[in-house]
Amino acid sequence: MLKIAIIVGSTRPGRKAATVADWVLQHAQGRSDAKFAVVDLADHPLPLLDEPMPPAFGRYTHEHTKKWSSVIAGYDGFVFVTPEYNHATSGALKNAIDYLYAEWNNKAAGIVSYGSSGGVRAAENLRLILGELQIADVRTNVGFSLFTDFEDFTTFKPGPQHTGSLTALLDQLVSWSGALQSVRESATAAAA
């Protein structure tokens, strides 16, 4: 069965990403076509990229990188939950992504964003990054507004219209994750 990680893309105190990720998980758990789990960056403290070799070489020297590599390698696809900070994704998420290379390749991703404009600029920024890592991002994006989906900009209260968008995102993500599984298997066979 496909395994999909819902990545909590913020480590900031008072962050909203964990609550949004839990909402995604709650809806995803009713599906029978994949197993979903939350992967919280706060549980994987990664200093600002400190590996001496570029990630494409796969020669990790630090235990935190090896652990992070093992976690990400075990998934077929991802839902990135990202805040929008200064028209981009969070520095913590960018750093965590930059630590690895092959572990991301030929997998699929969906993006759930939030911010003053629904996090749309963070989602677009993240799409550019994912493309470079050979991650196929699905078309549907779920974007939450701090003005309408968070009471007093704090308590997460998503509008009901987001459930349909999330279902579409997950449908696309599972489909693409399954298709890319065969691409990864072919690449592994060719390398052997």
Tell me which residue of 88, 89, 1, 80 sits closest to 40, measured CA to CA.
80
Whether residue 33 is predicted with pLDDT greater than 90 in this model: the reply is yes
Question: What pLDDT is recorded for position 186?
Answer: 83
What confidence tens digit (pLDDT) does each residue in 51-75 have?
999 999 999 999 999 999 999 999 9
Q: With beta carbons less than 8 A apart as the criterion, state whether 7 and 93 touch.
A: yes
**What's the pLDDT band for 191 if we cut at 50, 70, 90?**
confident
Question: What pLDDT is recorded for position 4?
Answer: 98
Whether residue 192 is predicted with pLDDT greater than 90 in this model: the reply is no
Whether residue 189 is predicted with pLDDT greater than 80 in this model: the reply is no
In one letter, which amino acid is 92?
A: A
What confidence tens digit (pLDDT) does each residue in 80-129 have?
999 999 999 999 999 999 999 999 999 999 999 999 999 999 999 999 99
Tracing tokens 């060719």 back to the chain, one arrives at 190
- The beta-carbon contacts of 138-141 under 8 Å, at least 24 apart in sequence, are 138/108, 138/109, 138/110, 138/169, 138/172, 138/173, 138/176, 139/172, 140/110, 140/165, 140/168, 140/169, 140/172, 141/110, 141/111, 141/112, 141/113, 141/165, 141/169
In one letter, which amino acid is 173?
A: L
Question: What pLDDT is recorded for position 156?
Answer: 96
